[in-house]
Chains A and B, each alone.
Chain A
Amino acid sequence: MIEIRNVSKRFGAFRALDDVSLDVDRGSLTAVLGPSGSGKSTLLRIVAGLEQPDSGEIRLAGEDATAIAPQKRGVGFVFQHYAAFKHMTVRDNVAFGLKVRKQPRAAITARVDELLQLVQLQGFGHRYPAQLSGGQRQRMALARALAPEPSVLLLDEPFGALDARVRTELRAWLRKLHDETHTTTVFVTHDQQEALEIADSVVVMNEGRVEQVAGPRELYDTPATEFVMTFVGEAVRFDGELVRPHELEVALDAAPGAREAQVERIVQLGFETRCELTLDDGSRVAVQMTRTHAAELELEPGQIVLVRRPGVGIGSELPNVVG
């Protein structure tokens, strides 16, 4: 549906995108995940036509769209800071894309009603954006983007400006919305949890390049690069290899392959307990365990314990991990 071919983009001396190619399937919900400055937003803006690539090609529905103006791409775009039309009511905001297309008034009214229902803003139609909460504004922006029935919906850090609780709510709601509308959707985020939780497919970007494209589970279990391993989920270095904190084990008795370590800090993370330790060579690791197991060990800061990696070999199953 969306084909990105060898797209590069520079801003002055800064290389925002470096020969990026990517396919997004029709009807999928794709997350583009990366730290700030990784080029993820630039990529999205290029797909929407808000930026022009220096080289490369964007194809939408099989047609070259690189030279097509954003007005004619049939793409809906949702901005991080809503970009609400402040001088218009919620209704007029949602109706905007239909009004500029000069659709008949009755059709516009019906479509706006339907959309306000969809984003649960019925009854808010006559308010102004300033009278809405952040979450409501973003839902309005979504309804506005969906109004002209775009073939592609692009969201640039859509929940980035919202507080944690609203963010979690809207996340689940976006997934539900996608399951109902099946609009090909791409959203950009720096929040790995957001990406892993709702996307069918996650594109990990770093320094203007695509590191890996995979499903959430595959991404976590078989990261293609060291960057993906450290960026998606937590990773610590143990015996020169990157491992997940839950793959390590704290023991009190001697065992093969175990190393001495001093407990620095013990953190309760809901059901899990995280123990931060300093190894004998001075490097730091974190070990994640169940609360019950932590209680059995009776760990205390300052205590000397042993750390080992029970299933040695898991790390070597990651083919491309640079140790």
Chain B
Amino acid sequence: MRRYGLRGVAVLYLVAVLLGPLAMVFYRAFERGLHPLWASLTDPNTIHAFKLTLEITAIAVPVNTVFGVVCALAIVRHRFPGAGIVNAIVDLPLALSPVVVGLMLFLLYGRSGWFGALFQDHGIQILFATPSMVIATVFVSLPFVAREVVPTLRELGDEQEQAAHTLGASAWQTFWRVTLPSVRWAVVYGVVLTTARCLGEYGAVAVVSGRVEGKTETATLRVQDYYENFNQAGAYGIAIVLAAISVIVLLAMTLLRPVESR
């Protein structure tokens, strides 16, 4: 009885905060039929927004995957002074509001910022352009891979790596043949979380992008744009596509994962 009670609470909670709103999004998107939805989704500016979001994600995810793995190795395997600080700093983006991140970049790369003048002198536009949006997205999605890999590496221990060394494997060979395969599911899970975070990023990108339609507008910004212009079908339509991409990524990971480690 008690078990069912607990399950009931969990399911109710999920319905109330997750499934309910999600169902509402679907309902609203299709409320006025397929035509306005399709028209909004195929609008050139919407397509550009999706392309931009995918472009930013395609840069941020690999960057953060490499950084996350390297960072986790540094924290777990190499005891250096300040490892604890590094460990804490990795979590910083989780604690900071994305809007604050955006403002930080504004201060750094703005006309009077530390780096702003430097790039401007060389004719490189950072703010109100793709570079600043990539930097903002990389920043907010930074912790996920490291957070997944650190505990797995700890649990793994270093005995397998030592065994590989005594068998003649170089540090590089040991990493590729032993360490990375052993933590691969943590990396994959981290990548999925990072991807979801990149697709959904709003606050930091909103601050640094300038939100120019068809130029620096990402999918999430486009949702806001449509919503403010009373195009509900369009706003909910983009939201559904974004949610669908995330779900597909999650499903792909679950299906790829071998049965025994699920």
A87-B181 in contact (CB<8A): yes
A96-B182 in contact (CB<8A): no
CB neighbours of B163 from chain A (8 A): 77, 79, 83, 85, 141, 144
The interface-forming segment of B40-48, B170-178, B193-201 is B170-178
B159-A71 in contact (CB<8A): no
Question: How many Å lie between the Cα of A70 and that of B163 in the bound state?
Answer: 10
Question: How many Å lie between the Cα of A69 and that of B168 in the bound state?
Answer: 9
CB neighbours of A141 from chain B (8 A): 163
Question: How many Å lie between the Cα of A67 and that of B161 in the bound state?
Answer: 19
A145-B181 in contact (CB<8A): no
CB neighbours of A50 from chain B (8 A): 162, 165-166
CB neighbours of A223 from chain B (8 A): none
Residues of A within 8 A of B (CB): 48-50, 69-73, 75-77, 79, 81, 83-88, 96-97, 99-101, 130, 141, 144-145, 147-148
Question: How many Å lie between the Cα of A145 and that of B165 in the bound state?
Answer: 11
Most buried by A among B169, B182, B184, B260: B169
CB neighbours of A148 from chain B (8 A): 167-168
- How many residues of chain B have a CB within 8 Å of chain A? 18
CB neighbours of B165 from chain A (8 A): 49-50, 69-71
How far apart are B28's CB and chain A's nearest CB, in angstroms?
46
Judge whether B160 is part of the interface by a CB distance below 8 angstroms: yes
CB neighbours of A81 from chain B (8 A): 159
Residues of B14-40 contacting chain A, CB below 8 A:
none
B160-A145 in contact (CB<8A): no
How far apart are B198's CB and chain A's nearest CB, in angstroms?
28
Known: A79-B159, A85-B160. A96 touches B166 (CB 8 A): no
Question: How many Å lie between the Cα of A141 and that of B159 in the bound state?
Answer: 12
Known: A97-B167, A148-B167. A83 touches B173 (CB 8 A): no
How far apart are B162's CB and chain A's nearest CB, in angstroms?
5
CB neighbours of A71 from chain B (8 A): 165-166, 168-170
A96-B167 in contact (CB<8A): yes
Of the A-B pairs whose beta carbons lie under 8 Å apart in the complex, a sample of 21, sorted by A's number, is: A48-B166, A49-B165, A49-B166, A70-B165, A71-B168, A71-B170, A75-B166, A76-B167, A77-B163, A83-B160, A84-B160, A85-B163, A86-B182, A87-B181, A87-B184, A96-B167, A96-B169, A97-B167, A100-B169, A141-B163, A144-B163
Judge whether B164 is part of the interface by a CB distance below 8 angstroms: yes
A85-B178 in contact (CB<8A): yes
Question: How many Å lie between the Cα of A70 and that of B165 in the bound state?
Answer: 6
Nearest A residue to B184, CB-CB: A87
Question: How many Å lie between the Cα of A100 and that of B169 in the bound state?
Answer: 6
Nearest A residue to B171, CB-CB: A71
Nearest A residue to B178, CB-CB: A85
Known: A83-B160, A85-B160, A86-B182. A77 touches B166 (CB 8 A): yes
B162-A97 in contact (CB<8A): no
Nearest B residue to A147, CB-CB: B167
Question: How many Å lie between the Cα of A83 and that of B260 in the bound state?
Answer: 20
CB neighbours of B164 from chain A (8 A): 85, 96, 100
B167-A144 in contact (CB<8A): yes
CB neighbours of A70 from chain B (8 A): 162, 165-166
B167-A83 in contact (CB<8A): no
Known: A77-B163, A81-B159, A96-B177. A87 touches B168 (CB 8 A): no
Question: How many Å lie between the Cα of A96 and that of B184 in the bound state?
Answer: 19
Q: Mark B64-90, 1 if CB is under 8 A from A, else 0.
A: 000000000000000000000000000
CB neighbours of A77 from chain B (8 A): 162-163, 166
How far apart are B183's CB and chain A's nearest CB, in angstroms?
10
B162-A100 in contact (CB<8A): no
Which of these, A72, A87, A99, contacts B182 with CB under 8 Å?
A87
Given contacts A70-B166, A97-B167, A97-B168, list 8 more A-B pairs with CB under 8 A. Answer: A79-B159, A86-B182, A87-B184, A96-B167, A100-B167, A144-B163, A147-B167, A148-B167
